[in-house]
């Protein structure tokens, strides 16, 4: 049950100094006004993934222990050479504001998929921008980074970027279906892991499928016919049910006492 919106304004951090966990989510249509929390801009319910995550982690958010960021490809249009890359922290959401106030549109796979002629410029540019963003986030020294991005192009580019930066053993990347209808459930499934990470439990990095969403992810992946170029091919596969369940169980256990900035 969601809280009444007028009684539950979101928490928006002004600094990440106390953050023990960073949750990276996909951008949304409220990017056009420079604030991903403002779901009312494009949705009558006034609710979105950012509001759901904030509500589930509200106590930690008030303490500044869990910070949010977004993967946002609109940066490629507004500031393609920005050294901060395509990861936008919640403290700088104005970076994603549309010059004309209009929504950029959902990041469809057709924007990024390789063409039959063997071209994948958009996916290449996004991955390069995410490499810059990942390196910048790593420099913040936040103990645990957790990502949940559903657009296929976003996940492939982010996974490749994290691997190329040598951080796959430290960052947690959740692989979920690309259709947005599954995103809120994905947030609910991973919120306990973000919570324990912020409390000092170390969770092993890597890519993880959410068991509850695995059948949908597998069916969806089978529908993609595009052969991925080598840079992203590894990240287009889906684990077996047993492998996903075992990895999830291991992830949930974590390891105590590894928190704290270094």
What DSSP designation does 178 have? Answer: S
- Given a cut of 90, whether residue 254 has pLDDT beyond it is no
Give, in degrees to the nearest 5, the angle at Cα 73 between 216 and 160. 65
User: Mind listing the pLDDT tens digit for each residue in 95-131?
Assistant: 988 887 777 778 899 999 887 766 899 999 999 999 9
- As given in the structure block, the two tokens for residue 173 are 């990347």
Mean pLDDT of 140-151: 98
pTM score: 0.93
Q: Is residue 153 part of a domain?
A: yes
- For residue 150, name the pLDDT band (cuts at 50, 70, 90): very high
Q: Phi/psi at 57 (nearest 5 deg)?
A: -115, 25
251 burial type by CB count under 10 A (0-12 exposed, 13-18 middle, 19+ buried): middle
Handedness of CA 202, 213, 68, 130 (dihedral sign): positive
- How many structural domains does the chain have? 1
Establish if 4 belongs to a structural domain.
Answer: no
Work out the angle between the directed axes of helices 49-56 and 183-198 (0-180°, nearest 10): 40
Give the pLDDT mean for 207-225.
Answer: 95
Give the tens place of pLDDT for each residue, 25-77. Answer: 999 999 988 999 998 878 878 899 999 999 999 999 999 999 999 999 999 98
Q: Which residues contact 25 (CB under 8 A, 6 or more apart)?
A: 36, 49, 50, 53, 68, 69, 70, 71, 148, 149, 187
Q: Domain span at residue 127?
A: 18-253
User: Would residue 7 count as lying in a domain?
Assistant: no
């Amino acid at each position: 049950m969601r809280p009444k919106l007028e009684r539950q304004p979101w928490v928006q951090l002004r600094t990440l100094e106390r953050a023990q966990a960073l949750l990276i989510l996909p951008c949304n249509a409220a990017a056009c006004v420079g604030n991903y929390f403002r779901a009312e801009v494009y949705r009558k319910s006034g609710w979105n993934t950012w509001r759901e995550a904030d509500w589930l982690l509200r106590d930690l958010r008030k303490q500044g222990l869990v910070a949010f960021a977004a993967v946002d490809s609109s940066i490629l249009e507004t500031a393609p050479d920005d050294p901060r890359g395509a990861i936008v922290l919640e403290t700088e959401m104005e970076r994603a504001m549309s010059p004309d106030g209009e929504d950029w549109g959902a990041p469809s796979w057709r924007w990024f998929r390789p063409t039959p002629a063997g071209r994948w410029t958009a996916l290449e540019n996004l991955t390069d921008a995410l490499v810059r963003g990942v390196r910048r986030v790593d420099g913040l020294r936040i103990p645990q980074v957790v990502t949940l991005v559903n657009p296929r192009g976003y996940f492939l580019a982010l996974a490749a970027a994290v691997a190329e930066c040598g951080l796959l053993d430290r960052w947690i990347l959740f692989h979920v279906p690309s259709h947005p209808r599954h995103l809120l459930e994905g947030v609910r499934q991973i919120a306990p892991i973000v919570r324990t990470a912020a409390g000092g439990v170390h969770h092993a990095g890597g890519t993880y499928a959410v068991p509850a969403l695995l059948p949908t992810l597998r069916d969806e992946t089978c529908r993609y016919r595009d052969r991925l170029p080598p840079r992203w091919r590894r990240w287009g596969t889906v684990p077996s049910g047993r492998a996903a369940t075992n990895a999830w169980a291991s992830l949930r256990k974590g390891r105590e006492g590894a928190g704290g900035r270094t």
